[in-house]
Amino acid sequence: MNARMTTLGLLTFALPSGTLAAQNPFALRTVPVAAPTTPATKSTTARAVTFTKDVAPILQQKCQSCHQPGSIAPMSLLTYEDAKKYSRRIRAKVSARLMPPWHIDRTIGVQQFKNDGGLSDAQLATIVDWVDTGTPMGDPKDMPPAITFPDPNRWQLAEQLGVQPDLVIRSKPYTLAPKTQDKWFRPVVETGLTEPRWVRAIEVKPVRANDRKIVHHVLAYLLQPEQGVTGLASSAHDHQMNAGLFMEWAVGKTGQIFPEDAGKLMLPGSQIRWEVHMHAIGEEIKDSQVEMAVYFYPKGFVPPHRTVLRMFDLSRDRDLDIPPNEKTVTQNFYVMPAPGRLENFQPHMHMRGKAMSLEAVFPDGRREVISAVNNFQWNWHINYVYATEAAPLLPKGTTLVFTAWHDNTAANENNPDPSQWVGWGDRTVDEMAHNWIDVTYLEQAEFDTLVAARKAKALKKPVP
């Protein structure tokens, strides 16, 4: 049974029984939309749903940026004929909440994000209604004007920021053979920076469409002669001994725009050490490269906080034990050494990964589920970026409880071989379990002020 409540404004939603629900993610995989029975899953209109008036606007808003020629999706959905041809597949994918790729559990935890790309219940029901009623086209006059999409390989954060990147850094080229085991390429390149600059956003992507086919993920480490961690809250200096990872990329993640009061620092003479994980696809890919766009704050601007990208490892130093034909649960715990704000939630697992949750146990004993992904898809590593007003504020001493579920049975359609024992490893057929989260540590006085402001705002909200 779900219950919604607001607690001190720290989290938008909390679920006293959420812990129990999160422990059984396999029961939450499919959204029942075949026969709408609740207002949340009914189409918003009483008239017949048509493609031109109802479905086309949804596809334009949520699907066509990928489902267009030359982009990453396997088929185009730009026209009525396209959508009708694939209508049964579309129905199956959206009903299972597999597409668009947004796999957060919508019944638990924070639900306000800066980059929510999923369908609302009403949009989902509209598409299902359209398919179930025979995919009617409707009046051509109702068809919205076609959207002219920009280059799908463009710098996407440039649109949100309104400026092009200040600095672009490319890895060295690497040629991948048609058939070979997974490869990890770790070149070091100069950034060319000649003065200290604070970073407001970072974006990473494969350079060409062919490069995108073979790159599984990218890690970018910033190497620079820095003593300590400049800009870190004083309360965290004894605990955070390095600046963390500069940026991580996988399919489903563009990069990150940091909050207006936070950023990362690059120093003169700095270097980027890339780690590019590639897998062969049966054809030689020559001179593959990845690249990073860096967007700076104006010269001389120093944000109040240094944000740190941390890997919260659930495997307890590579100790995963997933027997054949079994489902497993893995947990690990971290204590907040200082007051802080979590900026995002990004689970990382491989083909047996099915779900991951984060629960906060506060110093006074209260427990709240912050976020949970209950339908993890290994080929989509979505970064769920919290909205500014919803980013969790956690006091010093809060215990972060990370839980991951792996399914090594034949019921997992992504499982290549349920008869195999699986442990921790870099290869896609091995497993991992960690979560990438940007943490912004805060001074105690600022933390108290932010909590008080959220509490006051919550009290002003009208009771529905």
d(CA 224, CA 461): 47
Same structural domain, 113 and 175: no
Q: Under DSSP, is residue 141 helix (H, G, I), strand (E, B) or coil?
A: helix
| Alpha-carbon torsion (379, 116, 151, 145), positive or negative | positive
331 and 457 housed in the same domain: yes
| Tens-digit pLDDT profile for residues 87-120 | 999 999 999 999 999 999 999 999 999 999 899 9
What pLDDT is stored for residue 462 in this prediction? 64
Angle at alpha carbon of residue 161, lines to 155 and 164, rounded to 5°: 45
* Tens-place pLDDT, residues 160-187: 899 999 999 999 999 999 999 999 999 9
**Residue where one domain finishes, among candidates 271, 286, 303:** 303
Q: Are 155 and 165 in contact (CB under 8 A)?
A: yes
Judge whether 29 lies within some domain: no
257 three-state secondary structure? strand
pLDDT tens-digit readout, 272-288:
999 999 999 999 999 99
Contacts of 126 (CB under 8 A, 6+ apart): 43, 44, 45, 49, 54, 55, 58
Asked if residue 278 and residue 323 are part of one domain, the reply reads no
In the listed set 303, 331, 353, which residue is the last one of a domain according to the structure?
303
- Write down which residue in 250, 274, 303 finishes a domain: 303
Q: How far is Cα 42 from Cα 435, in angstroms, rounded to an integer?
A: 35
Instruction: Judge if 287 and 316 occupy the same domain.
Output: no
Interatomic CA distance for residues 127 and 369, integer angstroms: 31
pLDDT grade for 437, boundaries at 50, 70 and 90: very high
**20 or 89: which leads in pLDDT:** 89
Section 429-451 average pLDDT: 95
Q: Are 373 and 355 in contact (CB under 8 A)?
A: yes
Q: Which residue has the higher pLDDT, 9 or 411?
A: 411
Virtual torsion, Cα 38, 114, 253, 206, nearest 10 deg: 130
Alpha-carbon distance 248 to 217, whole Å?
Answer: 8
- Given a cut of 70, is residue 147 above it in pLDDT? yes
pLDDT of amino acid 317: 83
Residue 276 and residue 353 in one domain = no
Q: Confirm whether 119 is domain-assigned.
A: yes
Give the three-class secondary structure for 391: coil
pLDDT for res 29: 35
pLDDT in tens, 23-58: 445 443 333 333 333 333 455 566 789 999 999 999
pLDDT, position 31: 33
Q: Specify the length of the chain in residues.
A: 464
Phi, psi of 183 (to 5 degrees): -120, 150
223 lies in which domain range? 153-303
Tell whether the model's pLDDT for residue 2 goes beyond 80.
no
From its phi and psi, is residue 2 left (phi > 0), alpha (psi between -120 and 50) or beta? beta
Tell me, yes or no, whether 39 lies in a domain.
no
Distance CA 450, CA 444 (A): 10
CATH number assigned to the domain comprising residue 211: 2.60.120
- Could you read off the pLDDT of 184-236 as tens digits, one per residue? 999 999 999 999 999 999 999 999 988 988 998 899 999 998 888 888 888 88
166 and 273 in a single domain? The answer is yes
Pair 205, 80 in one domain:
no
Taking CA 433 as the corner, what is the angle to CA 427 and CA 435, rounded to the nearest 5 degrees?
Answer: 120
Distance between CA atoms of 143 and 298, rounded to whole angstroms?
A: 43
At residue 342, the 3 state secondary structure works out as strand
Q: Tell me, yes or no, whether 25 lies in a domain.
A: no
**Which residue has better confidence, 321 or 238?**
321
**Domain check: are 312 and 449 in the same one?**
yes
Q: Determine, yes or no, domain membership for 207.
A: yes
Q: Is residue 3 part of a domain?
A: no
In a domain, 68, yes or no: yes
pTM, rounded to two decimals: 0.83
In this prediction, residues 69-94 reach a mean pLDDT of 90
Same domain, 319 and 435: yes
In 337-401, which ranges are continuous DSSP H helix? none
260 and 343 part of one domain: no
In the prediction, which pLDDT does 394 show? Answer: 98
Residue 464 is predicted with a pLDDT of 57
Distances in Å between the Cα of 400 and the Cα atoms of 361, 370, 394, 450 are: 7, 9, 10, 20
Position 8 in a domain: no
Total number of domains constituting the chain: 3
Of residues 152 and 383, the one with the higher pLDDT is 383
CB 441 within 8 A of CB 232: yes
Residues 273 and 412 in one domain: no
Let me know: does 124 contact 95? Beta carbons within 8 Å.
yes
88 and 185 share one domain: no
CATH number of the domain bearing residue 392: 2.60.120.230
**Which residues make Cβ contacts (< 8 Å) with residue 206, sequence separation at least 6?**
212, 215, 288, 289, 290, 291
